[in-house]
Amino acid sequence: MIRKITLSLGRHVSSMARGATQVRRFLHGGYVRIHPSVQEALVEGRPVVALESTIITHGMAYPLNLSMAREVEEIVRINGAVPATVGILRGQIHVGLTDEELEFLASSKNAVKVSRRDFPFVLSQGLSGGTTVSGTMIMAHKAGIPVFVTGGIGGVHRDGENTLDVSADLTELGRTPVAVVSAGVKSILDIGRTLEYLETQGVCVAAFGESREFPAFFSRQSGFQAPYHVRDEEETAKLIDSALGLGLSSGVLIAVPCPQERAAEGQAIEKAIQQALSQARSKGITGKEVTPFLLQKLTKLTDGKSLDSNLALIQNNARVGSCIAVALSKLQKARRKGSQPRRKDMTAPQPVVIGGINVDFIAKAQNSEILGGGQTNAGRVRRTFGGVGRNLADCLSRLGQAPLLLSAVGKDEHLESVLHYCHHMVSQFKENLCQAPLVCIDGNVPLSTIQYVCQLAREHQLAVCYEPTDENKASKPFLSDSWKALTYISPNLQELRAINRTLGNPLPAELPSRLEDVVQAAVALACPLLAHLHCVVVTLGAHGVLLCGKSLGGSISLYPGTHKQAAAARLCAAHYPAIPISREEIVNVSGAGDSLMAGILAGVLAKHDTGTCVRMGLLAASLSLRSYEPISPEISTSSVSQEQVKSRSWPEAKVWKMD
């Protein structure tokens, strides 16, 4: 599915960076299926609650487990959220189950208990299983579900200081940013050491309700205090929102005490726990088999009272958790609404950028020569946020232009088919587009969206800049007459050749490398496009940039309409050399071209002359080449400006006639 991402970028890009970090790709292909109701809710920003399935496969006997699962899902719905029970059926992960799939898991005799370590084997063997707290957290996070409800989490087992038996739930809470709503820790565990371990893992733990007392699953009291305390759903939502916003990569544990009417049974159950633990030790039961054994024994030893309490607290957690999810959804929606630009507060319409957001991994070797023969090459790998559209918007925002960025991110295996309808996403912002002083669009955008924007450009005389992205995507607008509505394009020589190939124009036998030959080839390829385009900006890498367009008095115009009535205007090409940078200074080339074009467009929006605009672009590109980020954080209205251009000495641009 397509998630709409609308980012309003001010003079500082921090808001966009936070939004981009929350953009994540889910697992595409045959391993994962998201139920349509869950998918729809996620796309629309409605509250979703993840639910585990080991309680179905290993916690209760059939058919009680099935009725419990149905009741819990219904409680989530009644309280305004969408349930997403996570399970594995025949080697496929399901986020959200149909009733038939719930029954399949509930009645399965060979279901596997699936935690983080078990996913590869279970999926590769085509097995079915119930996901633990750990396993469910992983899938909830990947699907973009921030709230997960369970009965109680695992922890440090009693005598764990000797056995080192620690549940994977605890380490998962330390590395997966999901809020887990539970009745604390199962009382069959060592609660004190569990809380200590959670502290070590950096997990924010808060008791829910009137007391800081940390609950012990069946009992409202454990003898331990939670580090923090939240009184209601709204306070809890604010806590979760803060944790997610900080990007700490760790989870939050919300400990909900069992209902008051069940509290009296706690002491009796605690005695039964000691007896069940003794039996487990005598039978040599260890590891992940301990909990199911103890729960079954407790049911017998307490004449079913532990099971009744278990059901009551799970239902209570589902109610509280779904109310928290609803409150969190409202909080996030209010913040998104508040961050949208208000037309009355804007002094001028915003430029609009439509394009991709990527997560880039950049590897750079420590030594200039790469060793072969299977030897290790020392170096560094960095994660950065890229994508042509994002880069353009980032750089424009740093240069004071506050663009509106429209992007889309894939959510499942249906991505390709849904992308054909992506123009609906853009059409919702028709007013922004029609009033924009400039619209930028990149080659990552589907053809239908490009055609829609070009149609608006014709109808409303919009200035549209197309950034081709790469050689394979460059030709999208040129597959029809849509390209004739474009104002600027910014290809490199390979992309320019691909565009001409699509149009059936003559092509050079091979692309040259010597500057004079490069300019000659670029001029020949740009010339047929200028019958409709206002300007072709050919990026030449280390050679700089070549502007091809209409000229009057030696300067190529960057402003549409300037020379429409001027009979003396001629087609010319102007070459501007790049700012010299040594090889040692270059650390990242992925955003230099985007920085160049954003700098030029920022100058155009500020109504500077052509030379100033191009040199602002060259300044921005030189800064990004020296930065580990695609767009240098050093780019600003002071470092890239008309004043900076005037303060430097620049080589003269060389101009050629094209006609």
Phi, psi (deg, nearest 5) at residue 408: -140, 150
Helix H or strand E segment including 279: helix 266-283
- Cα–Cα dist 259/140, whole Å: 27
463: helix, strand or coil:
coil
- Given 113, 186, 297, 305, the catalytic residue: 186
**Residue the block writes with tokens 């829609």:** 452
Helix H or strand E segment including 400: none
Q: Output the CA–CA distances (angstroms, integers) from residue 315 to 67, 172, 235, in the order listed.
A: 12, 24, 21
Helix H or strand E segment including 347: none
- Residue 346 CB neighbour total at 10 angstroms: 11
- Cα–Cα dist 105/70, whole Å: 12
Question: Would you say 104 and 89 are in contact if contact means Cβ atoms under 8 Å apart?
Answer: yes
308 burial type by CB count under 10 A (0-12 exposed, 13-18 middle, 19+ buried):
middle
Q: Which two tokens stand for residue 528?
A: 């047929």
Instruction: Name the DSSP class of 614.
Output: H
Which is it for the CA torsion 242, 244, 245, 250, positive or negative?
A: positive
Q: Output the CA–CA distances (angstroms, integers) from residue 107 to 74, 104, 126, 632, in the order listed.
A: 20, 5, 17, 57
**Residue the block writes with tokens 């544990």:** 253
The residues, any chain, with a CB within 8 Å of residue 218's CB and separated by 6 or more, are 183, 187, 258, 262, 265, 266, 269, 270, 306, 309, 310, 313
- Cα–Cα dist 255/208, whole Å: 6
Is 52 a residue of the active site? Answer: yes
Active site residues: 52, 186
